[in-house]
Chain A
Amino acid sequence: MATVEAIKLHKRYHDFVALDDVTLRAESGQLVTLLGPSGCGKSTTLRCLAGFLDPEGGDITLDGESILKLPSNRRGFGVVFQNYALFPHMTVAENIGYGLRLQKCPKPDMARRVGEAVDLVRLNGLEDRLPRQISGGQQQRVALARALVMKPRLLLLDEPLANLDARLRDEVRWLIRDLQQQSGITAFYVTHDQSEAMAMSDMVAVMKAGRVAQFATPREIYQKPVERYVADFTGEANFLACQSVAEQGSGQYRIEAGGTVLTVAGVQGLNGRAELLVRPETLRLAAPDEAADFNGRIVKCAFVGASQLCEIALPDGGTLKLTAAPNTPVHVGDAAAVVMDRAQAWLMPEVAP
């Protein structure tokens, strides 16, 4: 299909810098997610890719060739908007077939392709309805079909699930991923939901105030974040402050954290202060005669059905959140011994240099 690259994109709105040196790459057939809080520049990036905005600096290439000069109507990209942007005066079938009509696609051919697209997103029977006569979930699928029917070289999706309720979101999420993989279309996907990003993507770009904080696979983003911001944004996390760390061999550190001395892996080249990332699921309460990694005191505890959420205060002032089995006896104020999967602990800077 197509390899798409954004190289050092810069974009300003008046004097506000919306994009600063954004570099991304989607290999052919990959789904790349832009993940970040509202206002960090995800939509701006996508709109530059689509050709709705001109970046002030940088380049966008498709299979190695710059497409910056190409207007959006000649890029051949499919775009799915957050508010769907269905044409309110056209029926479902007319919306889906609009692009084909512009290409002067012959009538029978067009009817067949629209029919296929309708099947694909399971909208049969709704072809003659107007957008306002169908539900939000159905509108969202029309938007998807409308983008896919053109067999675009690149699919751009801007928070396509944001306006759906939780159950539909799950369903449409898998639909999007399936369709994207079946057709092998390269795609950029914008979301502020980390679980969505994790589950769907080949690559994730975590964005922070107009910059790409980290661009890597979901696994790497989650387990080996380059800074605290990324770890925070990709899931539940405990951070333990470490005062003076020194590298011992590449990416290995001997540190003291939470009152314990241990050896962990981390970002290369750290020096001085750092943060130890410990995901809650890598922690558990120690069995009675087991050697503990941390010893502390339970300060919070909540039963949530499938498990219990506990917060443990450590002697050096740090806290650890962890989940315990639902029937383990835990009480606020009790001493707690915690075991950590050391292989999964990760040392990183507070803020990447």
Chain B
Amino acid sequence: MTAKTRLRLLLSVPAIVLIFVFMILPITNMIEMSFRTPGTSEPFGPDYTGMHYTRILGDGYYWGVLARSLLTAGLVTVLCLIVSFPIAWHLSRARGLKAVLLYACIVSPLMTGVLVRNFGWMIVTALNGPLNETLMALGIIERPLRLLFTQGLVVLALVHVFVPFMVLPINNALRNIPESLTEASASMGASRMQVFRDIILPLSFPGIQPGMILVYVLAVAAYVTPALLGGQMVSVMPTLIVGELTGTFQWPFGSALAITLSVSTVIVVVTFTMLTSKLMERAKA
């Protein structure tokens, strides 16, 4: 073994340990747990069974919750993209102090803790909260709007906090598009819309794709926001899973739900990546 390979091995030890302890072990543990029989006095029983999966796949209720989780995350991702692109565009054109201030504004949603941020939303959108009171004082509405504990508010709050994860990679991609490309296309007769459609959008895809994947995965797994802002009426997979694990103490069934969600998410992400691989391949300069 040369000194170089030894050094390489040494340097990769922390990563390997980290991945093993915090990823491989828990996931293996989860998978194992999901095949356990339910316990009576303990969280899980002594034997193995596939009954939890047959139960989930055979019950329309769980299909419904899974679909809602995946679709909500999809909606959050698309809205995030629409909101983030113009922001990323401005950020990519900004220089110096303006760029620093913009960066600070953009990451500001991440600067408050998840609980504080969501309690903030609860206070603002409550029936007698400042938002409703202002709207009523302005005479825009007559009766307070029911915003809290709706799916719409969950989506809004998730979009709000995930925007930085979309803006930053897109900003990066946009900064890598030389101005001469947009000038070249304009000189060939392209209007601003056509420049955007033919040049800017396809070439920013190397930022759009990771941004979308990142936001989607985060949105699927979000727990606190749907739990606090979605109320009891709209359950998504994470709230269901936490309920099983800490409410009814059905660890095997909770684990099976979690594995189902993970696998579904991986399928969605892999499909998306494959469908967009052509766009990605072309845009990589």
Residues on A lying within 8 angstroms of B by beta carbon are: 50-52, 71-79, 81, 83, 85-90, 98-99, 102-103, 130, 132, 146, 150
Contacts and interface: CB of A to CB of B under 8 A. Distances in A.
A73 B186 contact: yes
Q: List the 7 shortest-distance A-B pairs measured between CB atoms, nearest first.
A: A99-B188, A85-B180, A89-B282, A85-B184, A79-B187, A88-B285, A73-B186
Contact of B190 (A73, A78, A81): A73
B187 A75 contact: yes
B46 interface: no
Contacts of A88: 203, 282-283, 285
B183 A50 contact: yes
A73 B189 contact: yes
Contact of A83 (B178, B189, B194): B178
A102 B283 CA distance: 20
A73 B184 contact: no
A81 B202 CA distance: 21
Contact of A89 (B183, B194, B202): B202
27 contacts: A71-B186, A72-B183, A72-B186, A72-B187, A73-B186, A73-B188, A73-B191, A79-B187, A83-B178, A83-B180, A85-B178, A85-B180, A85-B184, A86-B184, A87-B198, A88-B203, A88-B285, A89-B282, A89-B283, A98-B185, A98-B188, A98-B198, A99-B189, A102-B188, A102-B190, A102-B194, A146-B184
B187 A73 contact: yes
B218 interface: no
Contacts of A130: 282
A294 to B, nearest CB: 51
A103 B188 CA distance: 9
Given A87-B198, A150-B189, 9 more contacts: A50-B183, A72-B186, A73-B187, A83-B180, A85-B181, A85-B183, A89-B203, A98-B198, A102-B188
Specify the main secondary structure of chain A where it touches its partner. loop
B199 interface: yes
Nearest to B205: A89
A270 B203 CA distance: 59
A255 B188 CA distance: 56
B189 A103 contact: yes
Nearest to A77: B187
Contacts of A146: 184, 188
Contacts of A71: 186
Range class of the B interface residue count: 20 to 34
Contacts of B185: 87, 98
A169 B180 CA distance: 22
Contacts of B180: 81, 83, 85
A87 B199 contact: yes
Interface in B163-217: 178, 180-181, 183-191, 194, 198-199, 202-203
Contacts of A75: 187
A75 B188 CA distance: 9
A29 B180 CA distance: 26
Given A83-B178, A88-B283, A88-B285, A50 B187 contact: yes
Contacts of B198: 87, 98
Contacts of B190: 73, 102
Contacts of A51: 186-187
Interface string B244-276: 000000000000000000000000000000000
A88 B282 CA distance: 7
Nearest to B283: A89
B188 A150 contact: yes
Contacts of A52: 183, 186-187
A228 to B, nearest CB: 35
Contacts of B181: 85, 87
A30 B186 CA distance: 24
A87 B282 CA distance: 10
Nearest to A149: B188
B80 to A, nearest CB: 24
A103 B191 CA distance: 11
